[in-house]
Chain A
Amino acid sequence: NAGVMQNPRHLVRRRGQEARLRCSPMKGHSHVYWYRQLPEEGLKFMVYLQKENIIDESGMPKERFSAEFPKEGPSILRIQQVVRGDSAAYFCASSPAVSNEQFFGPGTRLTVL
């Protein structure tokens, strides 16, 4: 059973471009969570989704950030018009039910030039 998959692992964008981060949860998991980690800091919750629904987006910046988890395909975290402050590691996690035991992917490291 493959773990949580994220791609790309590394993403470089120039200011003003769009970044799309993909997450495929573990097989059988219908709950997906996105977190952001700045250097030397802990992870910060961004959004929690179930298939086709955003359940909790209290950690998402109000502008430029969006997330989806379609019926078919991976979950997508989209950042429009990236700025240097968006540079961070973005982690996706999944779980089979709402749980404190979440399975994390390897992360996508976004660098904004």
Chain B
Amino acid sequence: LAKTTQPISMDSYEGQEVNITCSHNNIATNDYITWYQQFPSQGPRFIIQGYKTKVTNEVASLFIPADRKSSTLSLPRVSLSDTAVYYCLVGRTGTASKLTFGTGTRLQVTL
């Protein structure tokens, strides 16, 4: 399983764009990059998944460079309710099942 490295914590003000970068130098050809969000006392929630280039949905964008050794989750104009832990996961989809969570990035949004 590819190991991921993320910043332990980040701080932002409300209304700013937040970019969280994840390093995954040993990503395999068949691996996808998946991001989850977890609020205190809740289960994680799927945010976005991608394989290469750029993926965008109503919540976030995911940027993946050509070498795929890193990825950046972009949250536009964060609000206080975006305060959470964000996990970057790397692994195959459609085959093996288990998600491997690291310690994540704790994002704190303030006024």
Contact = CB atoms under 8 A, between A and B. Distances in A.
B104 A98 contact: no
B49 A42 contact: no
B98 A101 contact: no
A104 B91 contact: no
Contacts of A106: 41-43
Interface stretch (A12-20, A55-63, A65-73, A76-84): A55-63
A99 B46 CA distance: 11
Interface in A84-113: 91, 93, 97-107
Contacts of A48: 97-98
B95 A42 contact: no
B101 A44 contact: yes
A101 B44 CA distance: 11
Interface of B: 32, 34, 41-46, 49, 87, 89, 91-104
Interface of A: 4, 31, 33, 35, 40-45, 48, 55-56, 58-59, 91, 93, 97-107
